[in-house]
Amino acid sequence: MSAETAIRVEGFTKRYGKRVAADGLALEVKRGEIYGLVGADGAGKSSLMKAIAGVLSFDGGTVDVFGTRIDSARAAEQVKQRIGFLPQGLGLNLYPDLSIDENVDFFGRLRLVPADVLAERKRVLLGMTRLDAFRHRPMRQLSGGMKQKLGLVCTLIHEPDLVILDEPTTGVDPVSRRDFWAILGRLLEEKGVTALVSTAYLDEADRFHRVSLFHEGKVMGEGTPAELVAVVPGTLALFRAEPQAEALPRLKARFPQTEAMGTWLRVFAEGLDATAARAAVDACLDQPAHPVGSAVGRTSVRQTTVSEGDRRTEVRPTDTAIRLTDWFAREPELEDVFVAMLRQRGAKLESVFPEDGLTPHTSTAPAIEARELTRVFGDFRAADAVSFRVPQGEIFGLLGANGAGKTTVIKMLTGILKPSSGFGMVAGADMRTAGWAIKERIGYMSQAFSLYHDLSVVENIRLYAGIYGLDDRAARRRTDWVIGMAGLAGFENDAAGRLPMGLRQRLALGCALVHQPQVLFLDEPTSGVDPIGRRVFWDILFHLSRREGVAILVTTHYMGEAEHCDHLALMFAGKVVADASPEQMKQAVTAEAGQLLELRVDRPAPAQAALVDAGFASAVLHGRAVHLLSKAADADLARLPGILAAAGVQLQSVQPRPLSMEDVFVHQVSALEAAQRGTP
């Protein structure tokens, strides 16, 4: 093991009973780098990280940390003082009844940090994380993002050589996620610390020097993010096609990695450059050939049957014309490549919807209507005069930072929590007086609990069918429908708790749909789900909204999912502060703050600091790049090289990027937080 190597793992194997959690894993982490483990819950990331931290035994292979082989408790003790470990889960390494100050002091003393050194480090770290104003607040009263930042402070208080962070941003809102990465990047730059970080968010992979892609206990790929993206070449195309519901199945037959994202379609054309991708999409939609970027006229759709492997997809004949507009093409993202790699291993993206003979929900009245909904707990207003409307058949996203009031609003609308004031109608029923009537018309998939893990798949479905009053014949019919829809054939008698996360979430969705509700409430439904499972889940939601007329209200911290929604409401401090479509929100931010520029630089952390000092307050780290908003892009492009050169940073490239919903969320919430603090 060379002096430049911090961690070396070879043949790592870990079993829990008959289940193999990690199967012959190998990796090498260099000193001073941020190494990422990317994959869904259950992929083996946590088992490996705990073994490296010296807190978990394993069944095979070797683990070396700073030249010490971790093969006994005694060996683990030799390196523990050089390691900081943040386990998975919001605040699980903290003490709820202790204040921020007391938690930091406890960990400092536990690590034998001298009192004067501890006081200075605490001052710096709490200032950097913006926790200094809350240092006397008990941990249990902190938001999820604040808990994770406090957990990071406690992990770093003894200045370890290696920090091991297990999914530190899962369940954390985008603003807190960016804060977390900025703080970590700055500390690693200044201290030369090595970091091993796991995540279920593939959009975070750009923040790592190198990455291992985990799936079902194995490493599917390893390298820099750019090297991994190059493994499966192709083009990512974004465009609109009307009618969308007719275009989507045609495109999926030719391009399995096709998603509906609000009014847009997102297609990964594997193996094709931008020109060939456009021609293939045109041909798929029975369009004549057009130059890239040109307008497209109306044509009719012919009947066709397309084969992919052992799957045949028939597109039924229709006279509906399809119009394609607003074409954009760019290089694929790591998630597109990861999904393609999983497909090569046999993973399926399609979902099946058995015919049930039920009439789709149609109504001109709003499916959900909130008017001035307010909920007060003591002197705290968790929801403050919240108002919005959701038509039947729409996917509506409720966004907001941790503690913004989203779950409180859902609990009031579903009748779980009584509002302090205000009014709400759900599926034609008054939420204040409807009682059981409102529960018959809605499905609810909660953030924490939706299934009985000791019951089998069929037992869970039949239990919910009984709760909702279905007779035996209807229960059997809907059970068959749920199993088909969720892809659970062959798992009928398996305990729910033993299912992979993606299947478990689809079972929970099926249980919420067993009585064919008009309205579906989903609270953080895909947290920790792998990319395949997440895409299939959203494919199901699209079908439910477009084909069966179900109104869907969803909360999420994953901003890529916000792009799937037809309409969004952004909550801040219990209030709705924005209410528009994703496209309208992006246009508003562009008009207010300018064009998004991506700067590739050799030293991202000093570059970001220099840009903020130069007046670019929006500059944030984005992996090995810096993103900023510019109102005068041409003039700023001329200034940027000089600003960076003066800071000793080399500008490698700069190019405009389209705004994402994460950019919108961070801009708007950051501005609101600054206004609340009274800072410009």
Q: Which residue has the higher pLDDT, 308 or 226?
A: 226
Instruction: Inform me whether the pLDDT recorded for 304 exceeds 50.
Output: no
Q: Is the pLDDT of residue 159 over 50?
A: yes
CA distance to 34, 197, 615, 663, per residue, from 619 (Å): 21, 23, 9, 11
pLDDT, mean of residues 214-234: 91
Measured CA to CA, the distance from residue 344 to residue 566 in angstroms comes to: 32
158 in Cβ contact with 187 (< 8 Å): no
User: 381 exposed, middle or buried (CB, 10 Å; 0-12, 13-18, 19+)?
Assistant: middle
DSSP state of 55: S
Q: Describe the strand order of the beta sheet including 194-199 as a list of residue ranges.
A: 83-86, 162-166, 194-199, 34-38, 210-215, 218-223
Report how far residue 532's alpha carbon sits from residue 363's, in angstroms, rounded to the nearest whole number: 33
H or E stretch at 73: helix 73-80
Q: Residue 299: its pLDDT value, please? A: 32
In whole angstroms, give the CA distance from residue 120 to residue 549: 59
What percent of the chain lies above the pLDDT cut of 70? 91
Q: Checking phi first, is residue 203 left (phi over 0); if not, alpha (psi -120 to 50) or beta?
A: alpha
36-50, 186-200, 204-218, 432-446: least confident range: 432-446
Helix (H) or strand (E) holding 672: helix 661-677
What's at 312, amino acid-wise? Answer: R
Residue 293's pLDDT is 39
Please give the mean pLDDT across all residues of the chain: 85
Which whole number is the average pLDDT over 189-209?
Answer: 84
Give the pLDDT confidence score for residue 451 in this predicted structure: 87
| Chain CA centroid to CA 424, Å | 29
Which is it for strands 368-377 and 421-426: parallel, antiparallel or unpaired? antiparallel
- The better pLDDT of the pair 69, 191 is held by 69
CA–CA separation, 317 vs 301, rounded Å?
Answer: 7
> Residue 449 — very low, low, confident or very high, per pLDDT cuts 50/70/90?
low
Whether pLDDT at 303 is above 80? no
Rounded CA-CA distance 534/515 in Å is 23
- List of domains in the chain: 5-229 (3.40.50.300), 234-331 (no CATH), 368-580 (3.40.50.300), 583-677 (3.30.70)
Give the pLDDT confidence score for residue 314 in this predicted structure.
40
Contact partners, residue 23, CB within 8 Å, separation at least 6: 13, 44, 216, 217, 218
Strands 567-572 and 575-580: antiparallel
Please determine, for residue 67, whether its predicted confidence score (pLDDT) is greater than 50.
yes
- pLDDT band of 528, cuts 50, 70, 90: low
Give the 3-state secondary structure of residue 193: coil
Q: In what order do the strands lie in the sheet containing 620-622?
A: 620-622, 625-630, 595-601, 651-657
236 strand-pairing partners: 268, 330
Whole-number pLDDT of residue 364: 78
Return the closest-CA partner of residue 429 out of 367, 515, 371: 367
C-alpha distances (whole Å) from 467 to each of 162, 184, 416 are 51, 48, 16
User: What's the Cα-to-Cα distance from 495 to each of 44, 313, 461, 484, rounded to whole Å?
Assistant: 21, 32, 12, 17
**pTM, rounded to two decimals:** 0.77
pLDDT band at 72 (very low <50, low <70, confident <90, very high): very high
Lowest mean pLDDT among 20-34, 140-154, 304-318: 304-318
End-to-end CA distance of the chain: 51
pLDDT in tens, 492-506: 999 988 887 778 888
Rounded to whole angstroms, how far apart are CA atoms 375 and 14? Answer: 47
pLDDT at position 2, please? Answer: 65
Tens-place pLDDT, residues 581-626? 998 999 999 999 999 998 989 888 789 889 999 999 888 877 667 8
| CA pair distance 277, 234, nearest whole angstrom | 8
Mean pLDDT of 422-431: 88
Q: What is the distance between the alpha carbons of residues 486 and 192, in angstroms, rounded to a whole number?
A: 47
